[in-house]
């Protein structure tokens, strides 16, 4: 069976990458093949996770290549070399240019740790999202998987999953629960559903 070749872009620990790798290993992403992991941080633990899963890696390090467009050109080159059909942003800390998003239009997805349109856009990433949710006093938060376009967190929504905020939550405890109860569930599911859709469109 044909599969869509998937690249996962990470900047840090790669917990969302691990959720995708685990789902793929369990046969839950039958329409996709995790073919490449790319990082803009040479010391990202995500690279070790990829190595353990025998997935090729590519590094476009922010320190070694400080110019963002030069990094993007390097990444686009390696995506083409590997025949990548879907790009997954999983904790990738560089905002992509319009030139990059247009090159993979409706073929880039991202996971964001809130229920978009809440707590999203420029400056909302990592713990900052959960700090903002707690400061606002929301009772329900969650995660969103969406297509990526030139607007930060602005592309069409693919999937969302809600998570209750609990009494006494800190940004750290909330972050952990949103990962376990939302991100790690809906991201692999979205990878499969988008790969399946892309396969149908290629027939």
Catalytic site residues?
Answer: 112
Q: How far is CA 203 from CA 37, 106, 193, in A?
A: 26, 17, 16
Nearest to 38 by CA among 10, 68, 76: 10
Please list the residues that pair with 118 across neighbouring strands. none
> Is-contact 29 188, C-beta < 8 A?
yes
DSSP letter assigned to residue 90: S
**182-185 long-range contacts, CB within 8 A, separation 24+:** 182/113, 182/142, 182/143, 183/16, 183/19, 183/111, 183/113, 183/143, 184/15, 184/16, 184/19, 185/19, 185/161
Name which of 49, 29, 62, 53 is nearest 90 in CA terms.
49
């Amino acid at each position: 069976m044909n599969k869509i070749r998937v690249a996962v872009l990470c900047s840090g620990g790669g917990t969302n990458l691990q959720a995708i790798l685990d789902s793929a290993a369990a046969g839950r992403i039958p329409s996709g093949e995790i073919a490449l992991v790319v990082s803009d941080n040479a010391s990202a633990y995500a690279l070790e996770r990829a190595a353990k899963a025998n997935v090729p890696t590519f590094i476009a390090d922010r320190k070694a290549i400080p110019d963002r467009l030069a990094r993007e050109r390097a990444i686009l080159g390696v995506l083409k070399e590997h025949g990548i059909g879907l790009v997954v942003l999983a904790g990738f800390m560089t905002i992509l240019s319009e030139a990059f998003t247009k090159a993979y239009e409706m073929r880039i997805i991202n996971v964001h740790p809130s229920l978009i349109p809440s707590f999203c856009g420029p400056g909302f990433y990592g713990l900052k999202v959960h700090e903002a949710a707690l400061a606002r006093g929301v009772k329900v938060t969650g995660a969103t998987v969406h297509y990526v376009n030139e607007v930060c967190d602005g592309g069409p929504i693919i999937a969302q999953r809600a998570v209750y905020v609990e009494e006494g939550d800190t940004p750290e405890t909330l972050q952990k629960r949103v990962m376990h109860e939302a991100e790690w569930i809906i991201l692999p599911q979205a990878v499969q559903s988008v790969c399946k859709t892309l396969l149908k469109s290629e027939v």
